């Protein structure tokens, strides 16, 4: 046993404590005896004899203390030697025969000591002088040698799973201080296997919906309705059986499916949900392809949690346009499919119901704030302006919250900022926060993402929120809205607002300029009524035309000056083809209104023969902006979602922070390859 100076001092203190007390008593008796001898003769009685006895007694007491001190010291050290020997023997035996493998290594990995079980584990008779890196491949010593606390890690060796516990200690035995690392291995193979089996048997829930059921049956002969539904159910059952699951049809267009986790991973997820293609290929004189939306919940601790995640996933899939699968696990989403364009709903019932609900919410509010997305465009600003008059006409104070100097719709805003009716109603985020109270209603237009709103602090301050948007649903959805009107088939938010205006009051009155703002928003998002344009789009445009809108005046809002045309031509001229049909431009332009110019360049690139999709990348401050466009054959939304963006199948965008353009191009190539290889 190695005794430190501190432990030795403590031992000496314990031994000498009794002798010290004896010495003090003896000294006191000796002093008293001397005093008695010196002064006792002046008294009537002679005390000198008593003093002599006290002196002799004190000397005898000192001699007794010295003798007992030696005896106590001898006995104490004999006891400590015996104790030390026993502890060392017990410790050595316990460590040597410890039930888990133990090894002590130097900082460079040389084995200094190990027990027999460790030798049995590595299948050797001795390990002294060898290096642990030669025994365990890819073993990292640094994280143990550099840590001052216990480090726990998992390691697999010879088909067994071990949990390694290790800690570094500094040894001062020897001429040089040395860092040693003690490791002991706990075999957790059985536990790991049990966990794996439990995970394999976990239940995965899928909610399957024929998302265009009514539209398909409407465009299919009545005589084929039964055969069509039979074929759909047959193919869904075949997919489920292939994955070893069970399914039940619980409504006319809805199925519930359960898989075990192992079969789900091996057969269902790895096949990228080919059932979507199988269902889409059904042809029984149905003019519209059948599409499915599947919401999957997995990884929950209970069946109820999986069911809730499956419902959230299905809502996400439908909000993104359908014909896809969304897999929800705790803290993450995965997306598959999304090959079809959204199917336009022919009925306007939802728009009417939404208008009536909004009217009630507006009438109960103290004031109303209308806010769009960052760098608002004509769809965002136009929708806000279109709502403004309808809300204000109900006698409620109304404000448009926008950054005037940053908006991409400056030309449109300039038509209203000098108007007395709007001059005090177009406000900043700081002013909006100061006006918000418990009864304020906030209407978010043209975005559903928390990270994309113009002023996040306004969103946080508002208690009552209405959401109106047409973009495909993303993960950071504003889910605390009291009313949500989210239709991905709509061409633009301005189209949705135009429909709402026709129901929000009996005789809607909007000025010509307000009607032009709505028309401009539709014109922008449809690229002049060429992209994502349905019957209801033209009906909304026709309504605005009856309000007096002149398309020629709208065209003037989109005119470019000569400098912008030259800049646009330079951007297009630097395009390069990727995978033969995708045009990519790394733009070096840093001029004004760059974001608008990038979007226009992406649109223009689609006019080149053979180009099915285009991406324009440019630096805007500390950000890299990416604008994507396609002709429906390539889903630019899925591609840019890989980079944290979003949008629609044919129109999408993304932003990257604190990277250079070359890195952004590389990331874009990887995203394109990932999505197209999955196809």
Each residue of 68-95: pLDDT tens digit? 777 777 666 666 666 555 555 556 666 6
The CA distance from 97 to 115, in Å, is 7
Are residues 521 and 498 in contact, defined by beta-carbon separation less than 8 angstroms? no
One-letter-per-residue 3-state SS of 448-472: CEHHHECCHHHHHHCCEEEEEECCC
Strand 292-297 relative to strand 254-260: parallel, antiparallel, unpaired?
A: unpaired
Q: How far apart are the first and last CA of the chain?
A: 71
Strand ranges (E), 188-301:
203-210, 246-251, 254-260, 292-297
Predicted local distance difference test score (pLDDT) of residue 104: 85
Sheet arrangement for strand 332-337? 246-251, 254-260, 203-210, 292-297, 324-329, 332-337
CB contact set of 86 (below 8 Å; sequence gap of 6+): none
- Cβ contact 597:589 at 8 Å: yes
| Helix (H), strand (E) at residue 95 | helix 48-96
Residue pair 165/183 in contact (Cβ under 8 Å)? The answer is yes
| Residue 385: per-residue pLDDT | 92
HEC profile for 628-671? EEECCCCCHHHHHHCCCCEECCCEEEEEEECCCHHHHHHHHHHH
CA distance 351 to 539: 14
* 352/176 Cα distance (integer angstroms): 85
Residue environment code for 570-590, b if the CB has 16+ CB neighbours within 10 A, otherwise e = ebbeebeebeeebbbbbbebe
Q: Are 629 and 636 in contact (CB under 8 A)?
A: yes
Q: What span, in angstroms and rounded, lies between the C-alpha atoms of 517 and 492?
A: 12
In sequence order, what are the residues at sequence separation of 6 or more whose Cβ sits closer than 8 angstroms to the Cβ of residue 628?
602, 613, 614, 615, 636, 637, 639, 640, 645, 647, 651, 652, 653, 654
Q: Provide the token pair at 541.
A: 């445009």
Q: Tell me the C-alpha distance between 511 and 517, whole Å.
A: 10
> How far apart, in whole angstroms, are the C-alpha atoms of residue 55 and residue 32?
8
Position 371 scores a pLDDT of 95
Q: How far is CA 671 from CA 136, 325, 639, in A?
A: 37, 19, 5
Residue with tokens 């030259």: 566
- Dump the DSSP string for 332-395: EEEEEE--SPPPPPS--HHHHHHHHHHHHHHHT-SEEEEE-BTT--HHHHHHHHHHHHHHHTTT
Whole-angstrom distance, CA of residue 465 vs CA of residue 473? 17
Strand runs labelled E in 540-662: 576-578, 582-587, 613-620, 623-630, 646-647, 651-657
619 φ/ψ angles, rounded to the nearest 5 degrees: -95, 130
Distance CA 618, CA 625 (A): 5
Dihedrals φ, ψ of 167, to 5°? -155, 145
Output the 3-class SS for 477-514. Answer: ECCCCCEEEECCCCCCHHHHHHHHHHHHCCCCCCCHHH
Positive or negative, the Cα torsion across 526, 527, 529, 532?
negative
Q: Which helix (H) or strand (E) holds 121?
A: helix 116-122
- Give, as one character, the DSSP assignment of residue 2: P
d(CA 485, CA 478): 12
Q: What is the pLDDT of residues 400-410, one digit of tens each?
A: 999 887 666 77
Q: Is residue 124 within a helix (H) or strand (E), and if so which, with residue range?
A: none
Residues of the chain with pLDDT under 50: 1-10, 44, 175
Q: Please, which residues bridge with residue 270 across strands?
A: none
Closest CA to 499 of 445, 448, 546, 544: 544
Distance, in Å, from the CA atom of 387 to the CA atom of 484, rounded to the nearest integer, reads 16
Q: Quick check: 461 and 433 in contact, CB under 8 A?
A: yes
Helix axis angle for 512-525 and 535-546, nearest 10°, is 160
631 Rama class: left (phi>0) / alpha (psi -120 to 50) / beta: alpha
With 0-12 / 13-18 / 19 or more C-beta atoms within 10 angstroms meaning exposed / middle / buried, residue 162 is: buried
* Residues 6+ away with beta carbon under 8 Å from 165: 150, 151, 152, 183, 184, 186
SS3 401: strand
Long-range pairs for 545-548: beta carbons < 8 A, 24 or more residues apart: 545/519, 547/510, 547/512, 547/515, 548/512, 548/515
Nearest to 205 by CA among 325, 331, 323, 340: 325
> Contact, 281 vs 448, CB < 8 A?
no
Spatial distance between the Cα atoms of 236 and 357, rounded to a whole number of angstroms = 38
Closest CA to 298 of 327, 337, 271, 273: 327
CB 247 within 8 A of CB 237: yes
Q: Which residue has the tokens 């030696």?
A: 70
Q: Which two tokens stand for residue 300?
A: 């929950």
């Amino acid at each position: 046993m190695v005794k430190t100076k501190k432990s030795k001092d403590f031992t000496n203190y314990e031994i000498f404590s009794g002798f010290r007390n004896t010495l003090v008593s003896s000294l006191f008796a000796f002093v008293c005896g001397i005093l008695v001898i010196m002064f006792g003769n002046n008294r009537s009685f002679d005390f000198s004899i008593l003093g002599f006895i006290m002196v002799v007694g004190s000397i005898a007491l000192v001699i007794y203390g010295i003798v007992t001190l030696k005896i106590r010291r001898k006995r104490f050290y004999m006891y400590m030697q015996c104790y030390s020997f026993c502890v060392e023997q017990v410790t050595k035996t316990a460590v040597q025969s410890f039930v888990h493998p133990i090894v002590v290594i130097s900082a460079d990995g040389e084995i200094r000591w190990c027990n027999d079980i460790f030798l049995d584990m590595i299948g050797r008779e001795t390990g002294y002088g060898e290096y642990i890196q030669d025994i365990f491949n890819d073993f990292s010593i640094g994280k143990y040698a550099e840590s001052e606390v216990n480090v726990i890690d998992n390691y697999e060796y010879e088909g067994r799973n071990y949990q390694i516990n290790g800690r570094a200690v500094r040894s001062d035995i020897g001429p040089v201080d040395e860092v040693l690392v003690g490791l002991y291995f706990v075999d957790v193979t059985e536990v790991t296997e049990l966990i794996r089996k439990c995970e394999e048997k976990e239940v995965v829930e899928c909610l399957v919906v024929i998302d265009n059921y009514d539209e398909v049956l409407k465009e299919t002969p009545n005589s084929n309705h039964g055969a069509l539904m039979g074929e759909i159910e047959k193919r869904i059952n075949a997919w489920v059986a292939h994955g070893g699951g069970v399914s039940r049809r619980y409504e006319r267009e809805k199925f519930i499916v359960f898989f075990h986790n192992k079969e789900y991973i091996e057969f269902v997820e790895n096949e990228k949900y080919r059932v979507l293609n199988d269902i889409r290929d059904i042809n029984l004189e149905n003019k519209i392809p059948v599409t499915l939306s599947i919401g999957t919940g997995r990884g929950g601790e209970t069946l109820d949690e999986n069911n809730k995640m499956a419902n959230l996933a299905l809502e996400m899939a439908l909000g993104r346009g359908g014909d896809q699968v969304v897999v929800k696990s705790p803290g993450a989403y995965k997306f598959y499919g999304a090959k079809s364009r959204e199917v336009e709903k022919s009925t306007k019932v939802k728009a009417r119901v939404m208008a009536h609900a909004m009217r009630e919410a507006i009438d109960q509010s103290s004031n109303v704030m209308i806010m769009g997305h960052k760098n608002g465009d004509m769809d965002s600003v136009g929708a806000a302006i279109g709502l403004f008059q309808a809300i204000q006409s109900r006698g409620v104070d109304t404000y448009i919250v926008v950054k005037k100097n940053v908006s991409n719709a400056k030309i449109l805003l300039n038509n209203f900022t000098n108007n007395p009716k709007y001059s005090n109603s177009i406000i900043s985020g700081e002013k909006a926060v100061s006006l918000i109270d418990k009864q304020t209603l906030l209407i978010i237009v043209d975005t559903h993402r928390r990270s994309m709103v113009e002023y996040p602090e306004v969103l946080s301050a508002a208690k009552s929120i209405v959401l109106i948007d047409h973009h495909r649903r993303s993960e950071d959805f504003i889910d605390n809205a009291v009313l949500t009107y989210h239709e991905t088939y709509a061409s633009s938010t301005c189209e949705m607002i135009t429909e709402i205006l026709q129901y929000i009051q009996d005789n809607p009155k909007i000025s010509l300029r307000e009607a032009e703002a709505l028309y401009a928003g539709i014109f922008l998002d449809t690229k002049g009524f060429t992209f994502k344009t349905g019957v209801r789009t033209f009906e909304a445009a026709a309504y605005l035309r009856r309000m007096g809108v002149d398309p020629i005046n709208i065209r003037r809002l989109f005119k470019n000056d000569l400098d912008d045309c030259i800049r646009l031509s330079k951007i297009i001229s630097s395009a390069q083809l990727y995978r033969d049909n995708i045009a990519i431009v790394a733009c070096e332009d840093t001029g004004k209104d760059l974001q608008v110019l990038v979007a226009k360049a992406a649109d223009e690139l689609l006019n080149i023969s053979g180009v099915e999709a285009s991406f324009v990348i440019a630096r805007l401050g500390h950000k890299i902006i990416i604008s994507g466009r396609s002709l429906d054959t390539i889903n630019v939304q899925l591609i840019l979602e890989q980079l944290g963006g979003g949008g629609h199948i044919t129109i999408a965008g993304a932003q990257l922070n604190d990277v250079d353009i070359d890195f952004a191009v590389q990331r874009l190539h990887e995203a394109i390859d990932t999505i197209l290889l999955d196809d």
